[in-house]
Every structure is written in structure tokens, then in C-alpha cells.
């Protein structure tokens, strides 16, 4: 049985003509980045932030869009706990109409909110509200049976029962197969070298694989601020057999280091051909940012101007045809 797409499981794509990348590019401001002592980027709390996700499977021409709200508290410069709430689902650009898509979303609404304790130093991720999720699931499961029936549906419920049986199993299914969580929990909050580089270690289960793949490579901090009022972190890693490769760009807030945007692509190499398996764009919704203090009319006007300017720059960044992947990584 095919896995739930809630955990980013996709059938093997059929061979199609090669699709060219749609690269992204943005120039820097030229001002040198000023990090915390020892070139550390510490994790910081997020009062409330909403991201819009677009996950595309180029060779199947399938895409999923949704919004996820994140709130988080920090325990140390290496560890934090975040609460994730999922909403606003679209499949291939439209509200879902297929029964399987509707079922995935109905289940997703039950399983969220989720609380994850993330230690960026040890790279351990722990689900901390499993009891809350289990109670929601068992109380809402019968309501699902009023709308869905059949052998496939019952197998689907049993699969979810198994997934949420214990915290470790749930976390492995969630973090290692969901591209958003795998990227969000990746260890970007670290102490970097004087050259602003560190080794990168990333684990993910690509579509069609039975076992998780370990990626190793390098990540580095762009030494100058960008025009999105942020700090770029670039990560590139590859599996030991060179079959899979990940390239990702993180955009952090220049003042508090909180995550604003991610652009990533997962590649698969077959002989001499390299294809894009998944393209992921995670975009902070600037207009939904909470107000940090009671502003004056002038403050509101200036804040709105900054948001519009940053949004304009971000859209230019996404629409540009000049390859930042090629520029950054020499491919």
C-alpha cells in the first residue's frame, strides 16, 4: 500500500523528458555579516511565524502547497521547542477534490498541532506532545468513519495507529520523510569556523527508497548580508554512493537569526543523468508577522513599506532565471 503523502511518500515517477532547473538568485548587500561570539549562530525564540510551502515533484508534475504556523521557546543556544500548526491545503494549485487528498488533510488536521524539541548540537528531535496527539486521534477517528469507508480506509487508519504508537516511531516517520521538517530541524544553529564553514550531515528518506539515506557535505554562511535583510546559509551534501544530492539555501533574519525562508532541491543521479526529485520552497508570510511592540502611525507606515520592499525582493529572488545553485556550488 502506498504511504500517506502526509509523510511525503510518492510513487516512483515515470520517465519523462529532462526538465531544466528553475534556479533562484539574489545579490548581496555587500555589508559584512556580524555573528555572535565564536562565529556562533544561536537558536532564538519565534513568537509566531507562518510559512507557505510549495513542494513540487517535477517529473510527475505534481505539487502540494500548504501553510504551517510555528511558535517556539528556547532552552539554550543549541536547543528549542517549537509548536507546528498546519493549514490552507492545496494540491496542484487547487483545493483538494480527490478522496485520498481529502483524507490525508483530514488526518493531518487531527495530528496537528505538533510539538518538537530540537537539539541542534546533537541533532536529536523529540516529539513532546504525543499524548495530546493520541487523544485527538482516538477521539476523532470515529468521526472519520462517518465520511470514509472501505478496506483501504481501514488499512489507512491502522497505519496511522502504528505510526503514533510511540514518540520515536512518529518522529522518525515525520522528520526523516517530511522534507519541511527535515530541513527545519537541520543543524544550522552551530558554531562556524573562521571561514564560516562547517561539515554538513543530513538524513532523509527519498521517494522510492526503503531506508533513510545519510548525506554528508558542507554548509557555509554567506559573509555579507543579502537584500532580504537576512543571512544566507548554503548547504550541499551527497550520499556515499553519490546517488542522491541535496542543495539548500536558508535565509535567516539578520537581527535575531530566526528562519525566514528555505529553497531546496533533492537530486537523484542515474548513470550520467541527474534529475530533480523534489523542489521545495518555504516562504515566510511577511504580512502575517505579529507586531513586536505598540507602534505609532509612522512606525506602521515604515513597517509596511519594509514588508512590501522585502516581499518585492523575495519575489524577484524566486523568479530570477540566473542559477544561484551553479554560482554557489560550481556545478
pLDDT digits (tens, 9 = 90+) for 144-168: 888 778 888 888 888 888 888 888 8
Distance between CA 118 and CA 101 in Å, rounded? 29
Calculate the CA dihedral of residues 18, 215, 46, 220 and round it to 10 degrees. Answer: -90
Mean pLDDT score of the chain: 79
CATH number of the domain at 131, please. Answer: 2.30.230
What cell does 224 get?
A: 555579507
- Which residue, chain included where needed, has cell 535565509? 251
Best CA proximity match to 171, nearest among 206, 203, 207: 203
Give me the numbers of helices (H) and strands (E) for the chain, helices first please: 7, 13
Q: Report the pLDDT value the prediction gives residue 181, as an integer from 0 to 100.
A: 93
Q: Report the pLDDT value the prediction gives residue 98, as an integer from 0 to 100.
A: 56
With contact defined as beta carbons under 8 Å apart, do 115 and 128 qualify?
A: yes
Q: Report the pLDDT value the prediction gives residue 147, as an integer from 0 to 100.
A: 79
Distance between CA 235 and CA 223 in Å, rounded? 14
Which residue pairs, CB below 8 angstroms and at least 24 apart, start in 320-327?
A: 320/23, 320/24, 320/25, 320/26, 321/22, 321/23, 321/25, 322/23, 322/25, 323/21, 323/23, 323/25, 324/23, 324/24, 324/25, 324/26, 324/249, 325/21, 325/23, 325/247, 325/265, 326/23, 327/25
Q: Report the pLDDT value the prediction gives residue 171, as an integer from 0 to 100.
A: 87
Q: Report the pLDDT value the prediction gives residue 109, as an integer from 0 to 100.
A: 83
With contact defined as beta carbons under 8 Å apart, do 96 and 317 qualify?
A: no
Q: Report the pLDDT value the prediction gives residue 216, as an integer from 0 to 100.
A: 97
Through-space distance between the first and last CA atoms of the chain, rounded to whole angstroms = 38
Give the domain range for residue 19.
5-329
Cβ neighbourhood burial of 289 (10 Å; 0-12, 13-18, 19+):
middle
Residues of the chain with pLDDT below 70 are: 1-30, 88-101, 288-300, 303-304, 306-308, 310-331
Q: Report the pLDDT value the prediction gives residue 292, as an integer from 0 to 100.
A: 55
- What's the distance, CA 209 to chain centroid? 20
Q: What is the pLDDT of residues 186-215, one digit of tens each?
A: 999 999 999 999 999 999 999 888 889 999
Q: Report the pLDDT value the prediction gives residue 268, as an integer from 0 to 100.
A: 94
Distance between CA 328 and CA 315 in Å, rounded? 20
Q: Which residues contact 46 (CB under 8 A, 6 or more apart)?
A: 70, 71, 72, 82, 258, 259
Number of domains observed in the structure of the chain: 1
Nearest-5° Cα angle at 199, 196 to 200 = 110
Best CA proximity match to 21, nearest among 331, 270, 290: 331
Amino acid at each position: 500500500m502506498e504511504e500517506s503523502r502526509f509523510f511525503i511518500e510518492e510513487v516512483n515517477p515515470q520517465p519523462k523528458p529532462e526538465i531544466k532547473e528553475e534556479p533562484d538568485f539574489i545579490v548581496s548587500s555587500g555589508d559584512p555579516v556580524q555573528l555572535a561570539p565564536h562565529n556562533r549562530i544561536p537558536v532564538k525564540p519565534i513568537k509566531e511565524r507562518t510559512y507557505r510551502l510549495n513542494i513540487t515533484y517535477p517529473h510527475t508534475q505534481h505539487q502540494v502547497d500548504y501553510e504551517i504556523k510555528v511558535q517556539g521557546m528556547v532552552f539554550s543556544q543549541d536547543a528549542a521547542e517549537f509548536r507546528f500548526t498546519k493549514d490552507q491545503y492545496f494540491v496542484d494549485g487547487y483545493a483538494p477534490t480527490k478522496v485520498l487528498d481529502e483524507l490525508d488533510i483530514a488526518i493531518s488536521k487531527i495530528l496537528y498541532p505538533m510539538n518538537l524539541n530540537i537539539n541542534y548540537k546533537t541533532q536529536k528531535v523529540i516529539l513532546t506532545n504525543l499524548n495530546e496527539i493520541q487523544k485527538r486521534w482516538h477521539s476523532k477517528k470515529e468521526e472519520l468513519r462517518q465520511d470514509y469507508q472501505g478496506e483501504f480506509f481501514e488499512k489507512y487508519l491502522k497505519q496511522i495507529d502504528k505510526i503514533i504508537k510511540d514518540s520515536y516511531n512518529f518522529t522518525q516517520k515525520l522528520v526523516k520523510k517530511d522534507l519541511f521538517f527535515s530541513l527545519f530541524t537541520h543543524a544550522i544553529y552551530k558554531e562556524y569556523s573562521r571561514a564560516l564553514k562547517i561539515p554538513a550531515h543530513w538524513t532523509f528518506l527519498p521517494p522510492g527508497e526503503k531506508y533513510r539515506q545519510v548525506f554528508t557535505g558542507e554548509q557555509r554562511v554567506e559573509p555579507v548580508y543579502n537584500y532580504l535583510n537576512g543571512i544566507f546559509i548554503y548547504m550541499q551534501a551527497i550520499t556515499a554512493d553519490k546517488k542522491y544530492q541535496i542543495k539548500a539555501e536558508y535565509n535567516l533574519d539578520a537581527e535575531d537569526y530566526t528562519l525566514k525562508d528555505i529553497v531546496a532541491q533533492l537530486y537523484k543521479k542515474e548513470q550520467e543523468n541527474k534529475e530533480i526529485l523534489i523542489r521545495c520552497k518555504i516562504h515566510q508570510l511577511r504580512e502575517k508577522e505579529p507586531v513586536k511592540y505598540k507602534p505609532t502611525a509612522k512606525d506602521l507606515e515604515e513597517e509596511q513599506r519594509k514588508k512590501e520592499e522585502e516581499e518585492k525582493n523575495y519575489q524577484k529572488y524566486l523568479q530570477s532565471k540566473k542559477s544561484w545553485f551553479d554560482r554557489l556550488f560550481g556545478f
